[in-house]
């Protein structure tokens, strides 16, 4: 049970890091002609596909070693400019904010859970 929660939080943070890398690539290429914005696959989809190293309690441990960063897909942005560039700065900034919040949540959960484990061990 404990491993499951820690692994879920770790997968989520590494997924968020991959998403941050996608946002960084989009923003770096904001003035590149013909560049198409990219995004990572949604986290729930990755869990459903069994692409994360999360042991499934019902079946056995299945460790398909595929990092979430490999699941980068070209995504349709809000607008496509004349130059063929589909990066929207506003959209990327929103994504950045989301990533920050979710990362703080994951880190907070990990921290709290670790404190709970320590409290149980000390008691």
Partner 1 sequence: MDALQSSIAAASSGLEAQSKRLRIAAENLANAQSTGATAGADPYRRKTISFQSEMDRSTGAALVNVAGIEADQRPFELRFDPGNAAADSTGYVKYPNVNPLIELADMREANQSYEANLQVIKQARDLISMTIDLLRSNS
Residues that bind partner 1 (CB under 8 A): 13-14, 16-18, 20-21, 23-25, 27-33, 35, 38, 69, 89, 92-93, 96, 99-100, 103-104, 107, 110-111, 114
Shortest spacing between CB 44 and partner 1, in angstroms: 19
Of 121, 36, 23, 21, the C-alpha closest to 79 is 36
Residue closer to partner 1 by CB (options 28, 63) is: 28
Nearer to partner 1, 34 or 57 (CB): 34
Cα–Cα distance for residue pair 101/48, rounded to 1 Å? 23
Q: Which is nearer to partner 1, 23 or 54 (CB)?
A: 23
Paired strand residues for 40: 72
* Three-state secondary-structure class, residue 73: strand
Q: Give me the residue label for tokens 């890091």.
A: 17
């Amino acid at each position: 049970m404990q491993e499951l929660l820690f692994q879920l939080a770790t997968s989520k943070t590494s997924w968020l890091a991959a998403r941050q890398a996608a946002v960084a690539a989009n923003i770096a290429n904001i003035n590149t002609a013909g560049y198409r914005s990219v995004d990572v696959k949604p986290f729930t989809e990755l869990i459903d596909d069994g692409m994360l190293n999360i042991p499934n309690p019902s079946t056995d441990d299945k460790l398909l070693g595929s990092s979430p960063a490999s699941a980068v897909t070209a995504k349709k942005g809000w607008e496509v400019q004349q130059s063929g560039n589909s990066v929207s700065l506003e959209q990327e900034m929103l994504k950045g904010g989301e990533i920050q919040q979710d990362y703080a949540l994951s880190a907070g959960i990990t921290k709290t859970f670790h404190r709970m484990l320590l409290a149980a061990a000390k008691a």
